[in-house]
A and B are shown apart, each in its own frame.
Chain A
Amino acid sequence: MNTIKTIGASAPLAATTVHGAGDGLEPDPRLDRVAANPIFQTLVRERTRYGWILTGAMLVVYFGFIGLIAFDKALLATKVGGTASLGFYMGMFVIVFAFLLTGIYVARANTRFDRLSAELVRSLAK
């Protein structure tokens, strides 16, 4: 990962101004090489898809919970076991679910996506 670190992330902090298109960003031929690289395309396709699927899951779970609060309060008041209600468990589930989703994404990103990024950097160095 060190390669990416040095190439990518230190640069924004260097004292260069960020270019806008209006400033006449010079077309960098290496960028086309990156964009055409099959590893780059795999990385972007997989990560984008993964990100949107997880985003969708979060939206469904959260707005499902809010929807039940809005439209079916009686269901959420149902007792589960002793005093605690179904709504209580669902609220706790939403909190834990949000955390788990970020964990799932980070686990995937730390392994698969970072490996692809490293491969990409290696293949560009050739």
Chain B
Amino acid sequence: MIRILPFLAAGLALGFAPALAAGPDLGAVEKSPTNWPAIGMFLFFVLFTLGITYRAAKGSKSAADFYAAGGGISAGTNSLAIAGDYMSAASFLGISGLVYSSGFDGLIYSTGFLVGWPIVLFLIAERLRNLGKFTFADVASFRLDQTSVRIISATGTLVVVAFYLIAQMVGAGKLIQLLFGLPYLYAVVLVGALMIIYVAFGGMKATTWVQVIKAGLLLGGASFMAGAVLYQYGFSPEKLFAAAVQTHPKGDAIMAPGGLVTNPIDSISLGVGLMFGTAGLPHILMRFFTVSDAQAARKSVFYATGLIGYFYILTFIIGFGGIALLMSDPSYFKLGADGTTYDKLKDMLGGTNMVAVNLANAVGGPYFLGFISAVAFATILAVVAGLTLAGASAISHDLYAQVFARGRTTEKAEVNLSKASAVGIGIVAIVLGYIFENQNVAFMVGLAFSVAASCNFPVLAMSILWRGTTTWGALLGGLVGLVAAVSMVVLSDAVWVKTFGHPVALFPYANPALFSMPLAFLTIWGVSVLDRTRRGNRERAAFDAQFVRSETGIGASGAHAH
């Protein structure tokens, strides 16, 4: 069972779901003829968002416009954008597919993804808004050495973005292949080209509005589906569960924890990674700089938590709806040799990730199916655009402007470099998406979460919350967390055995966060305590000014005065 865990952990972690990662399951590709209603609706979405990008491009002049949408996004809009960043095609298709095949176990992921948000709100959100400008490295390096801390923060950002992006690109290619009947390479190039256009021309404004529209469509579509399912059972979840238990081959077992999480250490480590990884995802942290002040940042997390929680409840109902309404209907399955028998769990058309899509057809007919397919594509597109912007900002704002040019650059040059970086990242993503087509990339999103929890989050939290943090502590601690998280995953079953073909995994667990995150915190603490340099003393003394500003937003006025 430990073997299944990394696969699911990563596959479901907003990337895409396991069956999509496994090549052979996609034999269903030939079965999907070109889906015209879906393509039509998707083209409409693309044209509409390109229109928004055009308008955003005309209005985006300054660096603040490009990185932070001019700080003019309202709390309500930002909460939809945050929720949109978080509700990927994997949450939607992957978790409803997991609920379909295992029932209760889907809840383990739903809860894990949600519980990071209160932590973000209580410890990070307002302080981040008060201290930062465009990226979380602004905050982490506020009183520390710009060069060192920006290097480690930007590295953490780029590693997270790279793994996340590869997983999304491969998932996108396969999903589009399946939904629209387009060849894999075309699909990957299409996604890459569109995300370059959104980010390079429209910056944060376009990226935000694409995300908001998609979040609205996804929540609307999922609400309709869950409502249609419940309607058939007189809006009684109890009747729905009873029908599902009767139909599902595992029977009553779907209402209880199953085999997904059997190793206690691994399940807790998974929980740590999901919970604290959320607080270290660079594309999520960037969203706190798009609102006007700390109050708006606070409210956006509150609304976003509600939207995301609501969405996970919907996916749960959709999964159970899939069991109750699809399992007994042979038209949604590949039939066996005799033409009548099929495996309810394995033979679904397109794999179990297609539960939500097939259910859309069952409750709303072919046009609703087209709509949900288009929404799934839009979802991927919006998420990769957000990731690309986070990566481009790290390259231009952190690495170029502060590390290479040492602050001696113009805003215009920085924004231009950021646009060029977006193009570069897009091209790299297309190439990697193509290279990794037939690789097992399911562990990559889990790895992205682990790195976020073990490098970005400790550096950020310690520099904001602990007076004693020095540059050496943050630099070495972040580095240790990053290296530990990556190497533990490389030595785990998912990579060491499945990809490299070694007989035994050297690291026994699928999820490293339980070990790598405390290691990072300990290193930051230990090195900072031992740091007796003059710079270290100066940095500890500078904490007071940072503290006042982080708690009130007031210290920032000093920047105007002199």
Q: Chain B contacts of A121 at CB under 8 A?
A: 554
Contact A67/B268 with A13-B64, A98-B117 known, Cβ cut-off 8 Å: yes
Q: A11 — which chain B residues lie within 8 A by C-beta?
A: 553, 556-557, 559-560
Give the dominant DSSP class at A's interface. helix
Q: Is the CB of A95 within 8 A of B111?
A: yes
A12 in contact with B556 given A21-B539, A82-B242, A96-B309 (CB within 8 Å): yes
Give per-residue flags for A1-44: 1 if the beta carbon is below 8 A from chain B beta carbons, else 0.
Answer: 10011011111111111111111011110111011000010011
Chain A-chain B contacts (Cβ-Cβ < 8 Å), number: 249
Q: Kindly state whether residue B47 has any CB partner on chain A within 8 Å.
A: no
Interchain CA distance A102-B124 in the complex, whole Å: 13
B393 interface residue per 8 A CB criterion: no
Distance in Å: Cβ of B139 to nearest Cβ of chain A:
9
CB distance from B449 to the nearest CB of A (A): 15
Known contacts A12-B556, A88-B255, A103-B302; A20/B146 CB under 8 A: yes
Contact A58 B115 (CB under 8 A): yes
Asked if B261 and A8 sit within 8 Å, CB to CB, the answer is no
B552 touches A8 (CB 8 A): yes
Chain A residue total in the interface (Cβ 8 A):
77
Smallest Cβ distance from B230 to chain A, in angstroms? Answer: 14
Asked if residues A31 and B256 are in contact (CB atoms below 8 Å), the reply is: no
In chain B, what residue has the closest Cβ to A95? B309
A114 to nearest B CB, angstroms?
7
| Additional A-B contact list (8), CB under 8 Å, known A7-B553, A20-B146, A62-B275 | A11-B556, A18-B142, A22-B538, A34-B555, A58-B118, A73-B257, A87-B257, A94-B114
Q: Which residues of A contact B (CB under 8 A)?
A: 1, 4-5, 7-23, 25-28, 30-32, 34-35, 40, 43-44, 47, 50-52, 54-55, 58, 62-63, 65-67, 69-71, 73, 76-77, 79, 81-85, 87-88, 91-92, 94-96, 98-99, 101-103, 105-106, 109-110, 114, 117, 120-121, 124
Question: Can you identify 22 A-B contacts, CB atoms within 8 angstroms?
Answer: A7-B554, A8-B553, A16-B560, A18-B132, A21-B144, A21-B539, A22-B538, A28-B545, A31-B558, A40-B551, A43-B552, A58-B119, A66-B112, A69-B257, A82-B241, A91-B104, A94-B111, A98-B115, A103-B302, A106-B298, A106-B299, A120-B552
Closest CB pairs A-B (n = 10): A8-B553, A77-B256, A9-B293, A11-B556, A70-B264, A91-B107, A51-B122, A21-B542, A83-B241, A85-B255
